[in-house]
Amino acid sequence: MHEIMRPDRDQYVILHEENIDKSYLEEFKKIKEHQSILTDRKFDFQSITLYDPFTFTSNGNPVWEPISNLDDVPLFSISEKYLSFEDTVGLNRLYKCDNLFDFYSAPEFDNNNATISVVFFRLFSMFINQSNVSKANERTCSNQSAPCEPGEFRNKHCICTNASKYAFDRCKDDVNETKYCSDAVSKNKCYDEAKYAIPFCRRTCGRCFRAGSIGISKPPKKLCQDVEIDMCKNYVKEGYCHFDGWTKLNCQYSCNLCPSPDVVKRQVETSDVRAYLEAYRKGDCFNRYDDLRCEVFAERGDCRTNPGFMSSQCTQSCGLCPEIENQHPNVSYTQSSYTIRLSTPCRNYIDDQRCDALAKEVNFLSFSGSFISGLNVFFKNAPDYKNNMFYQYRKYICFICSLTLFII
């Protein structure tokens, strides 16, 4: 069961059933109170059992929103590696570990304001890994003379811990991923591979929390650079920046596709879904994922073939932005800045001499209109025809930039 299925969830979030993919409505159905486990645990917006606000969206709009302002509580759309503090508290209570660990309730967890604890049973193995103790430790912990403070409990090392200490302990890179994390900043892994990099390289990626909020460390700056430096020089010269998705992504700097500082800042901040929700409420519409990647994915047809990801992460590039009366002056609501930036006068992508030779070779201008139409049909029936080099070049090498009748 998920946090969003709590019987009392309507006290904390607004559910938008109209935005949920119909095949996943069951995932948001509240369980009945008699089916839940009562504890004095509050709703946890950082629980690893809580769906991202855009999970299973059918139209790019949020499936749920918090009723009250979350202030600086983060909502990262990633797979968490560790239980949240509230998850751990709930599991301690669920398996009656509070007696073993000398657990004391914090004032805000007063039984008079008891709420429902909804827990993933699949998390039990994770809990055992984090909290299990040996019989020897049980005896040692039970012999501790000084009790824990309110809101604290003893961990597997018999040390009293609270939400702040727990958050600090989580602020670290995985010891088994040292090599992977070592270049996470220089290769933009914290953004391009966020689902893996952030949980395993939390300190490097600047995603460490205070107790329930952001603040221990800042995310690194997102870099604009060429990934394949040796290959980019030739690809850029050949004009691949204008039509080849791989070149756009891996030769971003050489293709002059670096976003403005404002866009970079926005892309870093909206890795936190909370910031995106705030912008959404104001009427701003943009991609949650990297703009350039969204543009490339949209060009290759992912809005149709992968709607689950694209509708929630690349809303703008898929043209799913709602009608907005007061549009933000710095945001394009129909296409990304990359499309606009690449709009250039009709020209040859490769050097003129080669284009002239190709034009003479195919003798395109001598073909009849019917053959031209047939050629278009031929290329359109070919797999991935829009990425076909001849299809891309032929508009220019044959001087038919204005003949849109034949080039659709």
Residue with tokens 């284009």: 355
Tell me: do 311 and 393 sit in the same domain. Answer: no
| 1-44 pLDDT per residue, tens | 788 888 888 998 889 999 998 999 999 999 887 777 655 677 88
User: What pLDDT does residue 159 have?
Assistant: 80
A 10 A CB-CB count for 125 gives 9
Sequence-distant (≥ 6) Cβ neighbours of residue 105 within 8 angstroms? 40, 111, 150, 151
137 pLDDT above the threshold of 80: no
Sequence-distant (≥ 6) Cβ neighbours of residue 325 within 8 angstroms? 283
Distance CA 85, CA 82 (A): 9
User: What pLDDT does residue 215 have?
Assistant: 55
Residue with tokens 């059933």: 17
A 10 A CB-CB count for 53 gives 24
Amino acid at 118: V
Tell me: do 41 and 161 sit in the same domain. Answer: yes
Tell me: do 48 and 86 sit in the same domain. Answer: yes
Tell me: do 233 and 329 sit in the same domain. Answer: yes
Tell me: do 22 and 76 sit in the same domain. Answer: yes
Tell me: do 234 and 282 sit in the same domain. Answer: yes
407 in any annotated domain: no
Tell me: do 124 and 159 sit in the same domain. Answer: yes
Q: Are 395 and 401 in contact (CB under 8 A)?
A: yes
Tell me: do 17 and 156 sit in the same domain. Answer: yes
135 in any annotated domain: yes
Q: Are 126 and 90 in contact (CB under 8 A)?
A: no
* Overall size of the chain counted in residues: 408
Structural domain boundaries enclosing 181? 175-207
Number of domains in the chain: 4
C-alpha of 260 from chain center:
20
Three-state DSSP class for 136? helix
Tell me: do 182 and 269 sit in the same domain. Answer: no
Three-state DSSP class for 267? helix
Three-state DSSP class for 143? coil
Tell me: do 7 and 134 sit in the same domain. Answer: yes
150 in any annotated domain: yes
Q: What is the mean pLDDT of residues 298-314?
A: 87
Distance CA 93, CA 42 (A): 13
| 91-133 pLDDT per residue, tens | 777 777 655 444 333 333 333 333 333 333 334 444 444 444 3
Looking at residue 346, what DSSP letter applies? S
260 in any annotated domain: yes
Amino acid at 246: W
Residue with tokens 């604009």: 224
Tell me: do 83 and 189 sit in the same domain. Answer: no
Of 210-214, 215-219, 253-257, 264-268, the one with minimum mean pLDDT is: 210-214
Distance CA 296, CA 302 (A): 9
- Measured over the CA atoms of residue 235, residue 241, residue 243 and residue 244, the dihedral's sign is positive
User: Does the predicted model carry a pTM greater than 0.85?
Assistant: no
Query: Which is more confidently placed, 216 or 45?
Result: 45
- How are beta strands 209-210 and 213-214 bridged, if at all? antiparallel
Query: First and final CA of the chain: distance in angstroms?
Result: 49
147 in any annotated domain: yes
CA distance to 239, 346, 349, 365, 389, per residue, from 402 (Å):
20, 9, 16, 14, 19
pLDDT band at 49 (very low <50, low <70, confident <90, very high): confident
